[in-house]
Amino acid sequence: MINRDRRCVHVVPDAFLGEVIVSWFATHGIDAEVMDGGTNGGLEGITFMMPGPSYKGIEVWVLNPADIERAIALLGEKASEVAALSAERRMRTGSIEATSDECGRVTPFPAARAGRTESCPQCHRYIDVPDPDAPVDDDSWRAREETDPPE
């Protein structure tokens, strides 16, 4: 049985994702932190063959116990959003073209793969398959404005 502190509101497979969630919590006014490897679920699984704790994920803890319920509710809302978006993407038909920044090859991908990272069949580098329904980055106009020559 895994013994987790009640401040543990989420368990992730790696520390990077944990830091993303901590940053997201901060935008909602919730102080949280990624706990180190020694907090990953207690000592379940220790045997003479395994001299250390078993790996049960990286924990994200909310620091103020008063924020625990709100953090759990926010995670639930986000999980529902992600599930709905994933279902919507799976229903897409047709294809979307993506261009490799490395070799310049334009490759069609199934529309259901929009918003994902794929591998270029030519150079085998990563390609971001555009998502036509993704929100536009509000700061994208600044980068163009600063680099475009004045008219």
81-106 pLDDT, tens per residue? 989 888 888 888 899 999 999 999 99
Count of the separate structural domains present in the chain: 2
Q: Please answer whether residues 90 and 113 qualify as being in contact, where contact means their C-beta atoms are separated by less than 8 angstroms.
A: no
Same domain membership, residue 123 and residue 72: no
| pLDDT digit string, tens, across residues 102-112 | 999 999 999 98
Same domain membership, residue 80 and residue 16: yes
Residues sharing a CB contact under 8 Å with residue 35, sequence separation 6 or more, in sequence order: 8, 58, 59, 60, 61
Residues sharing a CB contact under 8 Å with residue 141, sequence separation 6 or more, in sequence order: none
- What's the token pair of residue 16? 């990077």
Mean pLDDT of the chain: 80
Q: Which domain holds residue 134?
A: 95-147
| pLDDT digit string, tens, across residues 32-59 | 999 865 554 444 444 444 444 445 778 8
So what's the pLDDT on residue 2?
66
Residue 102 CA neighbour count, 13 Å, CB half = 11
Amino acid at 80: S
